[in-house]
Chains A and B, each alone.
Chain A
Amino acid sequence: MMRYSGFRVFTQGLTGNTGWRAAWRKPAPKPEYDVVIIGGGGHGLATAWYLAKNHGITNVAVLEKGYLGSGNIGRNTTIVRANYFLPGNSEFYSHSLKLWEGLERDLNYNVMHSQRGLINLFHSDGQRDAFVRRGNAMLAQGDDAVLLDREGVRRMLPYLDFGQARFPIYGGLYHPRGGTARHDAVAWGYARAADQRGVDLIENCEVTGIDVENGRVTGVQTTRGMIRAKKVAMVTAGRSGQVAALAGMRLPIESHVLQAFVTEGLKPVIDHVISFGMGHFYISQSDKGGLVFGGDLDFYASYAARGNLPMVEHVMEAGMTLMPMIGRAKVLRSWGGIMDMSPDGSPIIDSTGIEGLYLNCGWNYGGFKAVPASGWALAHLIATGQPHETAARFRLDRFATGHLLDEEGTGSQHNLH
């Protein structure tokens, strides 16, 4: 096992960087595991790591149909925050942010977590009141929130268009501990750490069937053969509906496409994460210098992992409205990811009607920040059979029982969250 450190970077630099080894093994699947995790995205890999680290369960395989990090974990716009409002969500994202703050030491991996601060802008008295309320909820949860007036925003973000009349900037809710992280590094860091504890990471292995006998899961069928397992977790984000269908389940999930954009690399110009909710636009600058930004869903069910032009135009317009200076930057790339939209905008971490089969999905477009706490909670559920206290309300049956967690209050329509 090779530990990463500044000293190693230095000595490797002096010896031609010839001593680095692959960050994880490429094992062939064993015939049987204690736990099989379907999906090698952020949540699947984090679950494997916390099963090993917190519960000593290491006879585990993560089965990924493509390569590790090929899904949304490598497609998101990397925002990490704990500014939720509802009990049920609040404590979960608060726990997640605390795990982020210790993650690099925990994994011995540089995930470039940068708490550069997040500012949510508001544009009316009513919206200000809503943000005051949200800020108080964040403080009550033990997290941080600062209300900025218009001049406060201007001091921090002098380049915004403060003269625009359609959405005049009244102020912002500043969340200093919010920020970004390098998304692929999060996948790689969890993968390497889990591998070092003995977890088998099996790439190019698509699950094509889930075996159930007498109401109990017994294993999975895959493109690399049958694998028996005492417990199986479905952690496949946008593909959750199809994977759950293999076990005869119909989920409260509709898959939608969300697009994102990045410009050519520029010198540092945007120091924070800025969210312009009224315009459906948010932006930050990556460590490489690219402006990373995005907006809303394309709004119709899609598995295309690429979007259409109307939303491209809309996002560009919103960006130009907020900060006309970005009109000078050239867009390099745009892409899309398949989002597992739930009817209340909140996730599901639960057991299912089938013994030994677990479900983790419904991350909508906010599942990156959730990766540590989600892996922690799912590992706890698999190991102990009990939901973790921070994720106790993420139940699958809450839609039937009416215990919804509708953070935005937009009702039971999948694309409105």
Chain B
Amino acid sequence: MRISCPCCGPRDRREFTYYGAADYLNRPALDADASAWDDYLHLRDNPAGETRDLWYHDPCGTWVAVTRDTVTHAVIAAEAVA
């Protein structure tokens, strides 16, 4: 499996650390109620097929949002998280 780092180009999966679903990008407001935090931290769509998740490219320190297929392991797109 190879992921195209927006900064470094196509790199081996071993250079990346997986964090979790892209849900982590939607951080609730500090005063949001507990259910919003439960949603954010725990609940997942967990699709069999196309998904979007967060990977960290260790050599350059870029957070990358990767669109990929959880059934075939094909990587479809990768973009830097602003």
Contacts and interface: CB of A to CB of B under 8 A. Distances in A.
28 contacts: A239-B48, A242-B46, A250-B45, A251-B43, A251-B44, A252-B43, A253-B46, A254-B21, A255-B46, A255-B70, A300-B18, A300-B53, A300-B55, A301-B21, A301-B46, A301-B70, A302-B71, A302-B73, A303-B71, A308-B13, A399-B38, A399-B42, A399-B43, A400-B34, A400-B38, A413-B19, A413-B20, A415-B20
Interface string B12-23: 111000111100
Nearest to B48: A303
Q: What 9 A-B pairs are tightest by C-beta distance, nearest first?
A: A241-B46, A252-B42, A400-B38, A300-B18, A303-B48, A399-B42, A343-B42, A412-B41, A250-B43
B72 interface: yes
Nearest to B12: A310
A304 B19 contact: no
Contacts, number: 73
A239 B41 CA distance: 20
Nearest to B34: A400
A303 B21 CA distance: 14
A299 interface: yes
A302 B43 CA distance: 16
B45 A241 contact: yes
B17 to A, nearest CB: 8
A65 interface: no
A308 B72 CA distance: 11
- Binding site of B, secondary structure by majority: helix, strand, loop or mixed? mixed
A36 B53 CA distance: 35
A402 to B, nearest CB: 8
Nearest to A415: B18
Interface in A361-417: 399-401, 412-415
Contacts of B72: 304
Interface string B35-68: 1001001111111100101010000000000000
Most chain-B Cβ atoms within 10 A of its Cβ — which of A239, A242, A254? Answer: A254
Interface of B: 1, 12-14, 18-21, 34-35, 38, 41-48, 51, 53, 55, 70-73
A125 B58 CA distance: 30
B61 to A, nearest CB: 19
A250 B39 CA distance: 9
A115 to B, nearest CB: 36
Nearest to B43: A250
Given A250-B43, A412-B41, A415-B18, A303 B70 contact: yes
A299 B19 CA distance: 9
A251 B70 CA distance: 17
Given A304-B73, A399-B38, A400-B34, A254 B46 contact: yes
